[in-house]
Structure 1
Amino acid sequence: MQSNKHSDFNLGVQQLRGLAALAVVLCHYGSDLKNYPLLSKIFNKGQLGVHVFFLISGYIILYALLKNNYYPRNFFAFLFKRMIRIDPPYICVIILTLLTFWLLTFIPSYGGKEIPFIPGQFISHLLYIIPFTKWEFYNHIFWTLCVEFQFYILVGTLYFISDSKFYRSFFLLSFSLSCFLNFQNSYYLITNYAPIFAMGMAQIHYTKTKESIYLVLILTSILIVYCKFDALITSILIISAITIYYCNQSLKILSFLGKISYSLYLIHPIVLIYILGIGKNFFGIPENELLYLLIKLVILIPSTYIFYFFIEKKSIELAKRFKYNTNETT
């Protein structure tokens, strides 16, 4: 294997993000196609795009920390920088969700649930601890952000205690094996997805160093993923890792979706609520299910870009201004 250039690294990750985000969207937008059961079954597997996001996070977060000579003393600055990057779009979607369900209560035909504003529930969302409280998610897609936040804490506090090859190898192996520990609410814990994150982490080390120990750790993580999950998830992650490593062809649509992937993930459920509500009450729903799916996507993508441009892009620009290391370049 040959090392990727920096541009190739960005290209592979960006396009994979776009594909994973599209898969999740198709799962929620197209998994109920009654007239196309096979296509519906395929779209339903789009939920596995979340596992790809976890692999990418393991790879790219560690890449950024290694590049910027991170030390544990930078932890709170690192965490603050990540919060600047991810929190504003997240908070905006939370507010939009609460506002939407409040407005729906004024529609007589609406028979769905209400989401009252409860300070404790709201704060628990901001702290990414909802799975461990008595409250429900405003939207269940937020669970992945809780897992991601746990990863930031783990890698920021423990992984850089030592830069020795032995420590890092021990960490990655024990971290991967932690998926077999049985905790309450394990579905929402970083340990449940540990070998996926570890696979991405080991891959960036191997990309940078070409040391065989990291290749062994990649293969070990793959084996653990297979034992923990199944052959399909394992195959998708292997293909994803290869894509990150070797991708050098630009597909503009996937690069575009990759750029807006976080916004796309966050707002696609709320956009669907408006599409269903407005469409059903004012325009009706097309009988052709594939046409209706296409209409939903045509509405979603521009809506996402508007949200990205006015909200997420500002967060990205602000996060780039914040330097937690004098050697930091990004």
Structure 2
Amino acid sequence: MPLKNINILRGIAALAVTWFHLTNNSSLGKSVAATGQYGYLGVEIFFVISGYILPYSMAMRSYRLADYGRFNAKRLLRIYPPYVITIILGIALMMVTKVPVPDSRILLSEFAYLNSILGYFWTVPVFWTLAIEVQFYIFISLFYPLITSRSNTVFVLSLLPMFALAFVIPSSFLPNWFGMFALGIVLFRKTELKLQPALFWSLTIAVAAFIMYVNGRYQSITALCTVLFILFIPAEKNNRLTSAGVWLGSVSYSLYLIHWDWGRVMIAVSRHLPLAGNYEWLRLTFGLGMSLFLAWLFYTFIEKPSINLSNKLKYGRKRSPVKT
């Protein structure tokens, strides 16, 4: 499996979302702001990656339904502590800057990933995607036996209810975003379970068409390009560009979490710096650079301990994926 490719894609996705927010919340000129107008599509990249990497890691551990609890606990140990600390730091920033702190209902709901479902706003807008990811954890841990079935018919039928639900339930639930995850799952079937090429491309085109109808053409194109990148763009050579991409991927979750509050703070600070305050590109560069630095600190002292804690929780037994 091209792990370097996945890390590089994560880095690209986090950087795109960060640039999107830095260029759309900084009172910039239109031409400068336009450079980040499609950065929100980094979310689609993350969703495709999750659809691919989670069943892969489950196959590596010979996942069974009996592992449902340990699998989800392991995932939450990985993502939840940094998430909670981001919320706490955000509240502290609000208090320091005298921004009104949301009431307890909103905050308690946010700790449980429920704001979109309950109709509350998120203190950090990107948190809605984490709520969708958590829903996907539940889905994949329940449907994994069907997704890895030797029968392609069983596999396809296991996905159809989620596609159907996209037309009848709100966008705060997984089905509305399931197309991106499904592309990752189909790719997993191809690379690890030897899905026939003709069926793979047929399913890929069908799912991309579904994404275009439900989410939009740019989302569909982005999701499809993510699949093609994983399939055809190697990243095995050790050079500076690859190393930078892998590093960026390693801090991508931390960057994703902290850039909204702290990246914008750095942009505001840069307005008072000599020279930089007069040039939009210098302010953006400073904000992005500081976001990356703070993401590295966050990764080192907060996210990495969570990764280590998650790694201590085991399920199944380590092995190579089953080939059919």
Q: Which interval holds the TM-score relative to the shorter structure? A: 0.7 to 0.9
SS at match of 1:272: helix
Could you say which residue in structure 1 is the equivalent of 2:255?
264
Match of 1:203 among 143, 166, 187: 187
- Per-residue deviation at 1:11? 1.2
**Do the aligned partners of 2:264 and 2:287 also contact (CA within 8 Å) in 1?**
no
Match of 2:34 among 41, 53, 57: 41
Could you say which residue in structure 2 is the equivalent of 1:319?
310
**Do the aligned partners of 2:271 and 2:283 also contact (CA within 8 Å) in 1?**
no
Match of 2:172 among 177, 188, 191: 188
- Per-residue deviation at 1:51? 0.9
Distance change >3 Å, CA 236–CA 116, structure 1 → 2: closer
- Per-residue deviation at 1:91? 0.6
SS at match of 2:187: helix
Distance 1:176 1:217 in 2: 13
**Do the aligned partners of 1:51 and 1:196 also contact (CA within 8 Å) in 2?**
yes
Distance 1:294 1:277 in 2: 12
Report how many aligned residue pairs link the two structures: 311
Distance change >3 Å, CA 168–CA 121, structure 1 → 2: same
Q: Which amino acid in structure 2 is aligned with residue 140 of structure 1?
A: P
Q: Which amino acid in structure 2 is aligned with residue 252 of structure 1?
A: S
Distance 1:135 1:66 in 2: 37
Distance change >3 Å, CA 123–CA 161, structure 1 → 2: farther
Match of 2:48 among 55, 60, 72: 55
**Do the aligned partners of 1:195 and 1:224 also contact (CA within 8 Å) in 2?**
yes
Distance change >3 Å, CA 42–CA 277, structure 1 → 2: closer
Match of 1:232 among 205, 214, 218: 218
Q: Deviations over 1:160-197 (max 9, x none)?
A: 25734222221124433433x132xx222111111111
**Do the aligned partners of 1:23 and 1:46 also contact (CA within 8 Å) in 2?**
yes
Match of 1:27 among 1, 20, 36: 20
Matched ranges for 1:215-254 at <5 A: 215-249=201-235, 251-254=242-245
**Do the aligned partners of 1:20 and 1:50 also contact (CA within 8 Å) in 2?**
yes
SS at match of 1:160: helix
Return the TM-score normalized by structure 2: 0.88
Distance 2:120 2:41 in 1: 26
Matched ranges for 1:1-330 at <5 A: 6=1, 9-31=2-24, 37-105=30-98, 113-116=99-102, 118=104, 120-133=105-118, 135-160=120-145, 163-165=149-151, 166-179=153-166, 181-183=167-169, 186-212=170-196, 213-249=199-235, 251-280=242-271, 286-327=277-318
Distance change >3 Å, CA 145–CA 54, structure 1 → 2: same
* Bigger mean CA deviation after superposition, 247-256 or 94-103: 247-256
**Root-mean-square deviation over aligned CA pairs:** 2.3
Distance 2:243 2:205 in 1: 31
Q: Structure 2: state its 5+ residue gaps.
A: none
Q: Which amino acid in structure 1 is aligned with residue 76 of structure 2?
A: M
Distance change >3 Å, CA 273–CA 297, structure 1 → 2: closer
Distance 1:322 1:60 in 2: 18
Return the TM-score normalized by structure 1: 0.86
Q: Which amino acid in structure 1 is aligned with residue 171 of structure 2?
A: Y
Distance 1:195 1:268 in 2: 27
Identity of aligned residues (%): 26
**Do the aligned partners of 1:169 and 1:214 also contact (CA within 8 Å) in 2?**
no
Q: Deviations over 1:216-239 (max 9, x none)?
A: 322221121122233322222222
Q: Deviations over 1:234-258 (max 9, x none)?
A: 2222221111112223522221111
Q: Deviations over 1:246-303 (max 9, x none)?
A: 2223522221111100000000012134324544567796121111111111211111
